[in-house]
Structures are given as structure tokens and as C-alpha cells.
Amino acid sequence: MVAVPLIAVVVTVLLARVSFPSDGPPSYLVTHYLAGAGIAGGVIVAPPTVLGLVAYFFVPSMRPVFERLVLYPLFGAAALVFLFLAVTIWRPDLDTPASSLQTATALVNAAAASALVMSGIIVAFSGILACNFWLTSYFDARRCHPYDHIALFLLGAAAHIRRERHRWHDDSRVTSWRASLEVVAIQVERDASLSGRIGLADGSTHMELREEAGRIAAVIRSHKRALAKAHSARDVDAVVVSLVEGIRAFCAGDRAALLTHAPDQVAPQVSSFAKAALRLTPAAVLIAAGLLLPLVPSIAHSDLASNLRWYLIVMGAIMFITTREDLATKISEAVAKVLFK
């Protein structure tokens, strides 16, 4: 039911904005219909797919949430492209001869209409799936006890390690075990903080419980070191036994037992994926702006549209490559002098 308003908005925009021209050669119209749909689909699907694959292969702890890692960015990208196409009016180049202006207008409108329809379809379907994911997680959380999700995640990790304990010498298996424990630790940091039970006004209690959740997560992460040092299946079994004790404590809600072997203080965890995202996001925004802003009609007809495109793309690449602000500033000034002299 949550997706119904979204679908209604998409259908309303499509009915108001989409018109399929009939003027012009049929073969060219079909070509532009396909091109518009293909370009819109590529622009929408490519970034989330690349993001998901990079996370899947370089951050193993993200693999269990791979579907959401791709789905939510896909919905966001589709919504942005859909809104951009919905508010943009496309016109052919002003240098087009008057004799062929009507045909050029029809071809441009054909490509724009098919692109808008394609982005609307992706918005609708990805929105339905995203709402389904969210509602499933929401109702599961309402039916479960506070630590049930953690216990299930930890049980799955312990079973995974116990089943393959005789492969302790296989580096890829140990890496997989460690990744599964990192997933559990992330779940602990989220659920053991009990943020849903605390009001916004009670900040001190929220901070205290969040610190405790971080300490419990540190206990889970400490088993990753034991797995890396394991020299026999017996060493792996010892880790599994410890994890089973943790499962019992979570099922019983025994927070004191969970904190028994926890460190007094834990440094904030910043994953390599989060670090990469902090660098990638501003760079991606600049590059996307460089690609999309010059397409806006009022900017496209400017003599500096091409210069603006290359300036933003170059700045996005520089921002991703280096973190030195002084170096980035010097390069940006040099590029601006060349492009906007």
C-alpha cells in the first residue's frame, strides 16, 4: 500500500509530460525511442551496479546486504533522473535549418519521452521492491524481541564456521568467516543500542547504550583475530563454543554477561567502505553535475557549456584521486584559467 502513492505520482507525471510524436521518418523515430530508453536505463542502472559490485568484491561484510546495497541507490538514481526529465524541456539545436526543424523536434521529443517512460518504470518497480524490503524489516522488528535479530545472525555465523571448521587452512574460508562475524558486529552496534526504545530527549541514556553496544560488538570482533590465528580445527571449535555462549546470552537478554569480557572503551569503527564512500560521493556528485548540467537548455545554449562540463568532471576526478586540499585548489585554479579565460 505504501507504493500506491508513488505509482500514482509516476503515472500522473507520465500522463502530463509524455507525448509520442508521429511526425518524422518512422525508422528514425524508433531509433530515437530506443536510444532515449537505453541512455536513461544506462544512466540509472550503471552507478548502483558498480557500487554494489565494488562493495561485494572488496568489502565481504557487505555481501549479506547486497540486494539492498543495489536496490536503494537504484531507486534514488531513478528518482533523480525521472525528476530531471520531468522538469526539463528539450528542444533541438537552434542552428537546425527551418526545413528540418519539425522533424528534429519530433526526434528530440521521441527520445525524451521514451527516456521519461523508462525512468518512470524503473522508479515504480524499484520503489515497490524498496517498500517491500522496508516493510518486511519493519514488521519483523515489531514481532521480534530486542536481540532476536542479533541471535539469528550470530547463529548463522556460528553454524557457517562450525560446518567448515576443517578448512581452517583455507585463507578464503577464514576470510569468509571473519566477514560473517563483521556482519554480526554491525548488527550488534545497531540493535543492541536499543535506539527504538529511547526518546530523543534522553540523550545520555542513548549514548550509554550505544557505547555498550560498541563494546559488545568489540567482543564479537575479537573472535576474528582468533580465527585468523587458528592452527587447527580445534582452535576453530573454541571460537564456535564462545559464539554459542554469546547466542545464549542474547536469547536470555543477559546484557551483563555480554559485557563481562568487553573492553572498557572502544574506538569508533570506520569501515574501508565508509572511507571510500566519503571520498567517492563528492567526486561522483561533481562528475554527475558535469554530465547533466550542460544538458539543461538554458545552459546548453551557452558558449561555456562544454567548458563547464569538463571543469566539473576534472574537479570530480581530482577530488577522488587526492585528499590534499591545497593541491586540488591549485589544479582547479589552473583548469579554470584555461577553460574560462
Nearest to 232 by CA among 182, 184, 169: 169
Cα dihedral 270→272→275→276 (10° resolution)? -160
Amino acid 327: pLDDT: 62
Q: What is the pLDDT of residue 236?
A: 93
Instruction: Identify the segments of the chain with pLDDT beneath 70.
Output: 1-3, 20-25, 59-65, 90-104, 137-142, 199-202, 267-279, 297-303, 322-328, 330-341
What is the per-residue pLDDT for 144?
72
Sign of CA dihedral 91, 93, 95, 100: negative
Residue-level pLDDT at 232: 92
pLDDT at 267: 65
Give the pLDDT of residue 141.
62
* Span 206-224, pLDDT tens digits: 788 888 888 999 999 999 9
Q: According to the model, what pLDDT value does residue 239 have?
A: 93
Q: What is the pLDDT of residue 128?
A: 87
pLDDT (0 to 100) of residue 101: 54
- Helices 272-292 and 305-321: crossing angle, nearest 10°? 170
Nearest to 74 by CA among 122, 116, 114: 122
- pLDDT recorded at residue 309: 77
| Single pTM value for the model | 0.54
CB 33 within 8 A of CB 116: no
3-state helix, strand, coil in the chain (%, to 5): 80, 0, 20
Residue whose C-alpha cell is 551483563: 256
The single-letter DSSP state of residue 297 is H
- How many Å separate Cα 313 from the centre of its chain? 21
Cβ atoms within 10 A of the Cβ of 293, count?
A: 14
d(CA 248, CA 155): 10
* Distance separating alpha carbons of residues 22 and 29, to the nearest angstrom: 8
211: helix, coil or strand? helix
Supply φ then ψ for residue 185, to 5 degrees. -60, -40
Please tell me the distance from the alpha carbon of residue 167 to that of residue 161, in angstroms, as a whole number.
Answer: 9
Q: In terms of Cα–Cα distance, which of 29, 67, 31, 38 is closest to 51?
A: 67
User: Which pLDDT score, from 0 to 100, does residue 238 have?
Assistant: 93
Whole-angstrom distance, CA of residue 74 vs CA of residue 52: 10
